[in-house]
Amino acid sequence: VTAAPHWDDLWLNVNLATMDASATQPYGIVEDGALATHKGRIAWLGPKKDLPAGARATRSHDAHGAWLTPGLIDCHTHLVYGGSRANEFEARLDGASYESIAQAGGGIRATVRATRLASDEALTFRATERLADLIAEGVTTIEIKSGYGLDLATELRMLEVARQLGLRYPVTVMTTLLAAHAVPEEFTNRADDYIDLVCNEIIPRADALKLADAVDAFCEHIAFTPTQVERVFRTARAHGLAVKLHADQLSDLGGAALAARFGALSADHLEYTSERGVAAMAASGTVAVLLPGAFYFLRESRLPPIDGFRARSVPMAIATDCNPGSSPCTSLLLILNMACTLFRLTPAEALAGVTRHAARALGLATRVGQLRVGLDADLALWDVEHPRELCYAIGANPLIASVHAGALRERDILRQASAKRVDSRELIGRLQL
Ligand code: NIG
Ligand code: FE
C-alpha cells in the first residue's frame, strides 16, 4: 500500500489546457480537473474525480472554474538594450525603409551606440520594465539575446544582465549570444575580420564564462552572408553550443536550410523561406519561430510558408521578438492574436506556439511547455471561459496568477509591477524573489 500523497499545492475547481503533445484534442483539455505541485514540479493532474484517496496538500487553491495553462514561453527576444528607435519609426512613416535606415548607420547600429553607453544599472532597469510586462501576462520562461554590443565587453555585459534577471525575477531566462547581428561601425567593410573576432574571442569567452546557452546570427544582405554564418555556427558547435538563426526575414538567402544543416534548435522569421528550406527544417527537426510582431511593425506583406510547415509537421513557435527596431512589443498575448489574424494560425496552434513548441525551440521540451507530471511547476491561471480566448481578445489581460517553479504570484502584484504610474523601483523590489 502506498501512502496517500502529501503535496505542496493543490489546484481545485479548475479546468486544464495541458497542451500535452500526446493529447487527442488540440488543447489537451481536462474539464473539472485538479493539479498538484510538489517541490517545484507538477506532481499530479487529471480529472478531479480521479484524485487519489486521502490526497492532501499544504495549500489548496479554489480556482473558481478558471483555466490553467503551462506558463507562457517567449522564445525569441532582444529584451536588453539601450535607447529607443521611435525616431526611426517616425522616419519610416516619412518614407524611409528599414533597410535604408540600417544602411545609413541607423537601425541596429543606433541601438549599439546607445547600449555601449548605457550602464549595467540602466540596461537592467529598462529590461526589467519590459520583463515585468511579460511576467504580468503569464510568461514564466524567456529567451534573451545579446547583439547590441558587437564588441567583447558589451556582448558579455548584455548576457550578464540577462542572466541576472533570471536570478532576480520569477522567470527562467535562456541566454543567446547574437554577436553576429550586424557589422559594427569600426569594422565597416571588414565583416570577415569581425567574424574572426566573434569566432576567436567572443564565442570562446562567452562559453568559458557559461554566459550563453545558444548562439544566433542574422543572415541577411544587411548583416552576414551564409558563408560568414557557417563560420559562426562551426565555432559554436565546436564549443558544444546550440545554434539558431534569424533566417530569410527580408530575402531568401537559404537561411532556413543553412540552420537545418547545423541541426539548429530553431530558424526564426522565415517570411522568404523556400520549399527547400521547409523540407530541410522538417528533416532536421528545427522549430519554425514565427514573429508576427516584426511582420506587422515592418509592414511586411510576404507570409511565412505556414501551409508548408503544416504539411511537413514542422513545429511552429511564436514570440514577441521584443526589440527597439522591428518589434517594440512586450505583450505575448497580443502576439497570439497577431499569429491568428495575420498568419492564420488556429488559436490552438498559436497557444502551442507559446508553450510546447516554444519550449522545444529553447531545448527545454523535457522541462516546460506542457502540463505533465514531472515537468516544472510553471503555470498560468486565466479568467477565461475557454483557452481560445487568450488569442481572441486584443488588449485584455485575463491572467489571475502565475506559478514559477512552484512559487505562486497573484495578479495584483504582477500587474502593479507593470503599471508605470507607480514608482517602478519600489515595484521591482516587490517582484524580486
Ligand atoms: O529580430 N532581424 C534582426 N534583428 C532584429 C531586429 C534588430 C533591430 O532592428 O534592432 C529582429 O527583427
Ligand atoms: Fe530577432
**What is the position in ligand 1's atom list of the atom closest to the CA of 108?**
10
In this structure, the strands spanning 41-47 and 139-145 are unpaired
**What is the position in ligand 1's atom list of the atom closest to the CA of 85?**
10
Structural contact between residues 285 and 259, judged by C-beta atoms closer than 8 angstroms: no
Q: How far is CA 251 from CA 16, 89, 99, 256, in A?
A: 41, 21, 11, 11
Judge whether residue 23 has pLDDT over 70.
yes
Q: Which pLDDT score, from 0 to 100, does residue 228 have? A: 98
Tell me which residue has its CA closest to atom 11 in ligand 1. 326
Q: How far is CA 353 from CA 51, 73, 305, 319, 360, in A?
A: 30, 9, 16, 8, 10
Judge whether residue 424 has pLDDT over 90.
no
**What is the position in ligand 1's atom list of the atom closest to the CA of 327?**
12
Q: For the chain, give the mean pLDDT.
A: 95
Q: Residue 2: pLDDT band by 50, 70, 90 thresholds?
A: confident
Judge whether residue 415 has pLDDT over 80.
no
Q: If you measure from the C-alpha of residue 326 to the centroid of ligand 1, how many angstroms do you get, rounded to a whole number?
A: 6
Which cell goes with 87?
A: 525616431
With b for 16 or more beta-carbon neighbours within 10 A and e for fewer, the 12-29 pattern comes to bebbbbbbbeeeeebbbb
Q: What mean pLDDT do residues 93-114 have?
A: 96
- Helix 152-168 to helix 120-135 angle (10° resolution) is 40
Residues within a 6 A CB radius of ligand 1: 107-108, 111, 218, 246, 249, 294, 321, 323-326
**217: number of CA atoms within 13 Å, CB side?**
32
Q: Which pLDDT score, from 0 to 100, does residue 349 have? A: 98
Q: What mean pLDDT do residues 56-74 have?
A: 97
Q: Which pLDDT score, from 0 to 100, does residue 422 have? A: 45
Q: Which pLDDT score, from 0 to 100, does residue 1 have? A: 57
Q: Which pLDDT score, from 0 to 100, does residue 421 have? A: 41
Tell me which residue has its CA closest to atom 3 in ligand 1. 218
Whole-number percent of the chain with pLDDT over 90 = 94
Q: In what order do the strands lie in the sheet with 214-217?
A: 72-74, 139-145, 172-180, 214-217, 242-247, 266-269, 287-290, 316-318
With b for 16 or more beta-carbon neighbours within 10 A and e for fewer, the 175-188 pattern comes to bbbbbbbbbbeebe
Judge whether residue 193 has pLDDT over 60.
yes
Neighbours of 394 (CB within 10 A): 12
Q: If you measure from the C-alpha of residue 148 to the centroid of ligand 1, how many angstroms do you get, rounded to a whole number?
A: 10
Which cell goes with 48?
A: 478531479
The sign of the dihedral angle between the CA atoms of 174, 119, 183, 97 is positive
Q: Which pLDDT score, from 0 to 100, does residue 431 have? A: 64
User: Which residues, in sequence order, are bridge partners of residue 80?
Assistant: none
Task: Return the ligand number nearest the Cα of 300.
Answer: 1
Q: Residue 401: pLDDT band by 50, 70, 90 thresholds?
A: very high
SS3 (DSSP) at 248 = coil
Q: If you measure from the C-alpha of residue 259 to the centroid of ligand 2, how many angstroms do you get, rounded to a whole number?
A: 15
d(CA 393, CA 395): 6
The sign of the dihedral angle between the CA atoms of 427, 428, 431, 433 is negative
Q: If you measure from the C-alpha of residue 322 to the centroid of ligand 1, how many angstroms do you get, rounded to a whole number?
A: 9
Q: If you measure from the C-alpha of residue 62 to the centroid of ligand 2, how many angstroms do you get, rounded to a whole number?
A: 40
Pocket mutation for ligand 1, best pick of 145, 218, 270, 298 (most atoms within 8 Å of C-beta): 218
Q: What mean pLDDT do residues 158-165 have?
A: 98
Q: Which pLDDT score, from 0 to 100, does residue 46 have? A: 98
d(CA 403, CA 419): 20
Mean pLDDT check: name the lowest of 62-76, 295-309, 417-431: 417-431
How far from chain centre, in Å, is Cα 303? 20
Q: What is the DSSP string of 363-415?
A: T-TTTSSS--TTSB--EEEE--SSTTHHHH-SS---EEEEEETTEEEEHHHHH
Q: Could you read off the pLDDT of 171-188 as tens digits, one per residue?
A: 999 999 999 999 999 999
Q: If you measure from the C-alpha of residue 341 to the centroid of ligand 1, how many angstroms do you get, rounded to a whole number?
A: 22
**What is the position in ligand 1's atom list of the atom closest to the CA of 111?**
10
Q: If you measure from the C-alpha of residue 28 to the centroid of ligand 2, how many angstroms do you get, rounded to a whole number?
A: 30
Judge whether residue 310 has pLDDT over 70.
yes
Q: Which pLDDT score, from 0 to 100, does residue 416 have? A: 64
Q: Which pLDDT score, from 0 to 100, does residue 427 have? A: 57
Structural contact between residues 4 and 52, judged by C-beta atoms closer than 8 angstroms: yes
Q: Residue 346: pLDDT band by 50, 70, 90 thresholds?
A: very high
Tell me which residue has its CA closest to atom 5 in ligand 1. 326
Q: Which pLDDT score, from 0 to 100, does residue 418 have? A: 59
Pocket mutation for ligand 1, best pick of 144, 181, 220, 289 (most atoms within 8 Å of C-beta): 181
Q: Look-up: residue for cell 551606440?
A: 113
Q: Could you read off the pLDDT of 224-281 as tens digits, one per residue?
A: 999 999 999 999 999 999 999 999 999 999 999 999 999 999 999 999 999 999 999 9
Structural contact between residues 71 and 405, judged by C-beta atoms closer than 8 angstroms: no
Q: Residue 411: pLDDT band by 50, 70, 90 thresholds?
A: confident
**What is the helix, strand, coil percentage profile of the chain, to 5?**
40, 25, 40
Which cell goes with 339?
A: 499569429
Q: If you measure from the C-alpha of residue 174 to the centroid of ligand 2, how many angstroms do you get, rounded to a whole number?
A: 14
Neighbours of 5 (CB within 10 A): 16
d(CA 427, CA 420): 9
Task: Return the ligand number nearest the Cα of 249.
Answer: 1
Q: Which pLDDT score, from 0 to 100, does residue 430 have? A: 64
Q: What mean pLDDT do residues 25-34 have?
A: 97
